[in-house]
Amino acid sequence: MDFLADLFKLLVFPGFLFVVNFGLFLEWVDRKIYARMQHRVGPPWYQPWLDTIKLFTKEDVIPEKANPFMFTFLPVLDLAAAVTAFLYLPFGGFSSVNPFPGDLVVVVFFLTLSTLLLFLIGWYSGSPFGRVGSLRAVTQFLAYEVPLVLSLLTPALLAGSWSISTIKIVMAQNLSRFLPVTLLALAVSLLSLQGKLLRVPFDAPEAETEIVAGPLTEYTGRRLAFIRLAERAELVVGAGLISNLFLPFDKVLGMLGFFVSCVVVVFGLSVLRASFARLRIEDTTLISWKYLIPFSALGMALAIMVRG
Amino acid sequence: MLEKIVALSRKASPWVAHFNSGGCNACDIEVMATITPRFDVERLGIQLKGSPRHADILICTGPVTGQIRERLLRIYHQMPQPKYVVAVGSCALSGGVFHGCYNVMGGVDQVIPVDVYVPGCPPRPDAIIAGIAKVLDKMQEDALSKDGREREVDHGC
Ligand code: SF4
């Protein structure tokens, strides 16, 4: 029975099925907000699911120049990494599958892993566009990983712990005292999450007007579907992490609170996406090193001072 | 049941790629106008994709010149099955004003199979949307019919 319960946790809740469906729901929220900001009606709620089903039924092409093993294996691994990260997040009153002191680092590690896998995905597709996209993805990864991790570690410093559930409790107890530092860290982490997920304005690695589709150029059918699902799952993990550390509505509202805080995070990301145009790759790295990293370091220094 | 869902998903999520095989660019500007927020084609699930590998529908504008023939064929073969082609503009239908030029092969259907023709020089965005909507019905029918539509399976492109 134990085995079955574990399998259920891995595959259904809070594992694969839940993360993927919630990710597709957040994609719809994102696209709808984007459409409303452009005065459009936008897609119906089932659009992301239909997109995914369609991709799974398309022809599966392996280009001659691609490495067939990596071409098949990497998209699945990418999705697996992102979904595994979610298993370590407590949410909506549930504790995570395997809570231990230091699970924050594990979640951040799996997020990093899926960005690195995106690099390999482009590299082994055998297309020059894929390789240029991969190199850009790595360049951006070096720039945005630092502020993201620093701003996520600010609450950890405030709470004096690396366990997400402990941070949540301490943050809720000292809400007003920690508020200025938390707001700064929240702003930095939202911006760098946008950069990390390669969304507009930081989507130079996937710039469709310059390099076709970056790392994803050669992928068709179900491989593309896996990569897209992995991106959605990364969005869920990123939004879930931020909502756990900064917006713990689920302390009062339970499951609903978790959904609300994730939607709030995605709302912030969509507003960013709708109001800016794409930056060039040198500008994105410059923004990170010039503004985001100093501010995240400032946040950490303030956190040390506030904690006393 | 499953077939119905697949057919619906084909119909509801057409991703288009856009290719100009030698036209005067006015048709391309109209195609670009079609995907602006004013017409909101995302209602129909239409998204413009950069890579032909991701696309279901190829929107072709312009006559096919001798030089671009190879490229057009290559892009067509790069698309995964099932794939559909919409020819937009008089040039893409027959060669239009360029008909009979020494370097022009004629319409797009001289090189690749075309499913829907949208006449006009250039056609308005609403005409292009109507053309794509026609293809959507065809996609759904093909997905429901037994033999389906695997025109040819091309590997290694
Ligand atoms: S149909 Fe008319 S507008 Fe379109 S490419 Fe030909 S000449 Fe230009």
Domain ranges of chain A: 16-307
Inform me whether the pLDDT recorded for B35 exceeds 80: yes
Distance from C-alpha of A114 to C-alpha of A110, rounded to nearest angstrom: 6
Neighbour count for residue A107 (Cβ, 10 Å): 23
pLDDT of residue A212: 78
Inform me whether the pLDDT recorded for B154 exceeds 50: no
* Cβ-contact A188, A151 below 8 angstroms: yes
What helix, strand, coil percent values describe chain A, rounded to 5? 75, 0, 25
Tens digit of pLDDT per residue, chain A (308 long)? 678 777 777 777 777 888 888 899 999 999 899 998 888 888 888 889 988 888 888 888 888 887 888 888 888 898 888 888 888 888 766 777 777 787 888 888 888 888 888 888 888 888 888 888 888 888 888 888 888 888 888 888 888 888 887 787 777 777 777 778 888 888 888 888 888 888 878 877 777 777 778 888 888 888 889 998 998 898 888 888 888 888 776 667 777 878 888 888 899 889 988 888 888 888 888 888 888 889 888 888 888 888 76
Inform me whether the pLDDT recorded for B153 exceeds 70: no
* φ/ψ bin of A227: left (φ > 0), alpha (ψ from -120 to 50), beta (otherwise): alpha
* Cβ-contact B87, B118 below 8 angstroms: yes
Mutational pocket test of ligand 1: of B97, B101, B124, the residue with most ligand atoms within 8 Å of the beta carbon = B97
Residue A45 identity (one-letter amino acid): W
CA distances from B77 to B13, B47, B92, B118 (A): 21, 20, 19, 22
Q: What are B50-95's pLDDT values in tens digits?
A: 888 888 899 999 888 888 888 888 888 888 888 889 999 888 888 8
Q: Which residues pair with B140 in a beta bridge?
A: none
Contact B56 A58 (CB under 8 A): yes
Q: Which residues pair with B59 in a beta bridge?
A: B18, B86
- Provide residues of B within 8 Å CB-CB of chain A: 5-6, 8-10, 12-13, 37, 40, 42-43, 45, 49-51, 53-54, 56, 78, 80-82, 153, 155-157
Pairing of strands B64-65, B116-118: unpaired
Interface test with B, best of A39, A46, A47 (most B CBs within 10 A): A47
How near does any CA of chain B get to the CA of A108, in Å? 30
Distance from C-alpha of A42 to C-alpha of A33, rounded to nearest angstrom: 8
Report which secondary-structure segment, H or E, holds B86: strand B84-88
Residue B150 binned pLDDT confidence (cut-offs 50, 70, 90) = low
A40 and chain B in contact, CB less than 8 A: yes
Q: For domain B2-143, say whether CATH 3.40.50.12280 is its number.
A: yes
Domain ranges of chain B: 2-143
pLDDT of residue B157: 42
pLDDT of residue B95: 83
pLDDT of residue B149: 53
pLDDT of residue A241: 87
Distance from C-alpha of B53 to C-alpha of A59, rounded to nearest angstrom: 10
